[in-house]
Structure 1
Amino acid sequence: MGRARAGKTSRSDKIYAALRQAIVEQTLRPGDRLPEDAIGDCFGVSRTSVRAALARLHAERLVEARRNRVAIVASPDPTEAQEIFDMRRCLEQEVARRLAGRLTAAQVETLEQHVRLEEQTSAPDSQAASQLAGDFHRLLAGMVNNRVLARYVSELVSRSSLILALYGQAHSTDCAVSEHRAIVAALSRGDAAAAVQAMQHHLGTVEKRSSIKEGDARTYDVGAILKRYAVKEA
C-alpha cells in the first residue's frame, strides 16, 4: 500500500510540475480550461492524480475551480493584480534589505551566473527568458533563509506571470536583465538603500508592463500544449 501511495504521489507531482511550468511560462494562459480527462490522457494517469495536482495549483491561486467542476487557469481581476504587485514590493524590498552586505562570495557568484544566463538567452521575449526572470526573484528570496518568505515570494512571482499574460505582453522582460544586474551590484557592495531602491524601480517597471485590459479569446488544445511537458517530465 505504501508503494502504491508513493506512486500516486509521484505521478501527481509530475503533473503538478508540468502544469505549473506551463502556466508560469504563459503557455497555458488565464482562462484556459484544464479538463481532467484531457490532462489524464496526456500523462497516461487517472483523474485522481490530475485532481491532486490541480488541488495544489488551486492552493497556490494559479488555478480556479468553476461550478461545472472544470478547472481553469486563474484570471486575476485588476484589483487583485494591483494587490499582488503591492505585496511583491513589500516582500521583495525586505528581501533586498536583509541580503545587502550579508551575501557570501559564493552567493554573489550564483546570482551573477544567473544574470549572465539571462543575458545569454537568445530571445528576450521567450518562455525561457520569462522563466529565468522569475527564477531570479525566487533565488534571491531563497537566500534570506526564511522558508515562509521564500514561499510567499515564489507564489507572488508565479501569479505575476498570470497578470502579464492577461493584461500585458506575453513573456515581457524588457530591461529586466539590466535591472537584475543593478540589484546584484547593490547587494554585493552592501548598499541596502540602493538595493531596496533598485528592487522598487525594477518591480515598478514590471508592473508598468501590464496595462489593465481584457484578454483576447483564443483557440487552443490543452493536450497539445501539455504534450512537450509530459515528455519532459517522463
Structure 2
Amino acid sequence: MSQANETEIYKAIKEAIIQQKLRPNMQLVEDVIAESFGVSRTPVRNVLRRLAIEKLVTVIPYKGTFVSCPTVEEAKEVFEMRRVLEAAAIRKVCHRLTEEQFRQLELVLEEEEEFHRQGDWFGALRITGDFHLKIAEMAGNFYFYRYLEELVSLTYVIIAFYGKRHSIFCQDHKRILHAMRLGDEHLSERLMTDHLKEIEAELDFGEAGAAPASLNDIFRPKKVST
C-alpha cells in the first residue's frame, strides 16, 4: 500500500476523533477498519501505531486498540503542562520575532478565520493547534515543539470528550500576536496563559458524551484504492 493511502487513513481516523465520531474508550478493530477502506491490515496497524505514539489511541496487550480516554485529572495536567511550556516558548519568541515569522503567524490566523467563516469546526480546531505549535517551533528549542506536539494531540482528545463545539478563541490569538509584535513578553505570556485557562474552563468535566456510531458507519464513505 502506498504512503499516500496510509496517510489518508491516518487523517480520517484522527479527524473522526476530533469530530467526536470516535469517542474515548471506543475500540478500533483492525479488520473492520481495513475492510472499510478496502485495504489489508498492515497499513491500518501502521496508522494505529502512529496514533499511539501521539497518545490519541491506547494499545492494551491482548485486548486491542482504543481511543484514548484522559481522566479529568489527566486533562487538567495536560493544560497545566501546556501553560508552563507555552509561557516559556512565547517569552523566547518575543525577543527574536522577525517580520517573516510575524507574517507566518498572521497567515495562520487568516486561515483560522476562514475556517470559522465556513463553519468548519474541525479545520478551525486544527489551525488553533498549528498556531501554538508554530510559536513553539519559532522558540528554537526542539523539546518545546516535541512535547507540545504531544500535548496538543492530547488536547484534541480532551476537547472531543469534554468539550463543546463553538468558537475556538480566534480573538485571543489576535491579541497574543499583537503583544508579540510589540515585543512585550510579559503581556504575551499573560495572554497565552489566560487563553489556555479559558479553554480549560470551557470544558465540561461532568459530561459523559453520546454513544458512538459503529466503525463501519463512521468509515463506510471513506474508500481508497489499493
Which TM-score bucket, shorter chain as reference?
0.7 to 0.9
**Match for residue 157 of structure 1 among 136, 152, 157:** 152
**Match for residue 132 of structure 1 among 94, 115, 127:** 127
- 1:24–1:37: structure 2 CA closer, same or farther, 3 Å change rule? same
Greater displacement, 194-203 / 208-217: 208-217
Aligned to 1:199: 192
- 1:219–1:25: structure 2 CA closer, same or farther, 3 Å change rule? closer
Greater displacement, 60-69 / 199-208: 60-69
**Match for residue 147 of structure 1 among 114, 123, 142:** 142
% identical aligned pairs: 35
Instruction: Tell me the amino acid that sits aligned with residue 208 of structure 1.
Output: A
Aligned to 1:179: 172
Instruction: Tell me the amino acid that sits aligned with residue 101 of structure 1.
Output: H
Aligned to 1:85: 79
Instruction: Tell me the amino acid that sits aligned with residue 176 of structure 2.
Output: I
**The residue matched to 1:122 in structure 2 has which SS?**
helix
Determine whether 1:167 maps to 2:167.
no
Determine whether 1:44 maps to 2:34.
no
Instruction: Tell me the amino acid that sits aligned with residue 145 of structure 1.
Output: G
Aligned to 2:105: 111
Quote the Cα distance in structure 2 between the aligned partners of 1:153 and 1:17: 20
Quote the Cα distance in structure 1 between the aligned partners of 2:196 and 2:144: 17
Contact 1:25 1:128 in 2 (8 A): no
Aligned to 2:96: 102
How big is each residue's C-alpha offset from its partner over 1:159-178, in whole Å with a ceiling of 9 and x where there is no partner? Answer: 11211221221x4435x111
Quote the Cα distance in structure 2 between the aligned partners of 1:124 and 1:148: 34
> RCO higher in 1 or 2 (8 Å CA, sep ≥ 6)?
2
Structure 2 segments unaligned to the other structure (5+ residues): none
Greater displacement, 218-227 / 180-189: 218-227
How big is each residue's C-alpha offset from its partner over 1:79-112, in whole Å with a ceiling of 9 and x where there is no partner? Answer: 1111101100001111111100311111101111
When the two structures are aligned, how many residues end up with a matched partner?
Answer: 225
Greater displacement, 9-18 / 70-79: 9-18
Structure 1 segments unaligned to the other structure (5+ residues): 1-6
Determine whether 1:221 maps to 2:208.
no
Shift of 1:148: 2.5
Greater displacement, 96-105 / 15-24: 15-24
Determine whether 1:64 maps to 2:58.
yes
Aligned to 1:4: none
- 1:123–1:8: structure 2 CA closer, same or farther, 3 Å change rule? closer
Contact 2:72 2:205 in 1 (8 A): yes
TM-score, L = length of structure 2: 0.87
**The residue matched to 2:183 in structure 1 has which SS?**
coil
- 1:142–1:25: structure 2 CA closer, same or farther, 3 Å change rule? farther
TM-score, L = length of structure 1: 0.84
> RMSD value over aligned CA atoms?
2.5
**The residue matched to 1:102 in structure 2 has which SS?**
coil
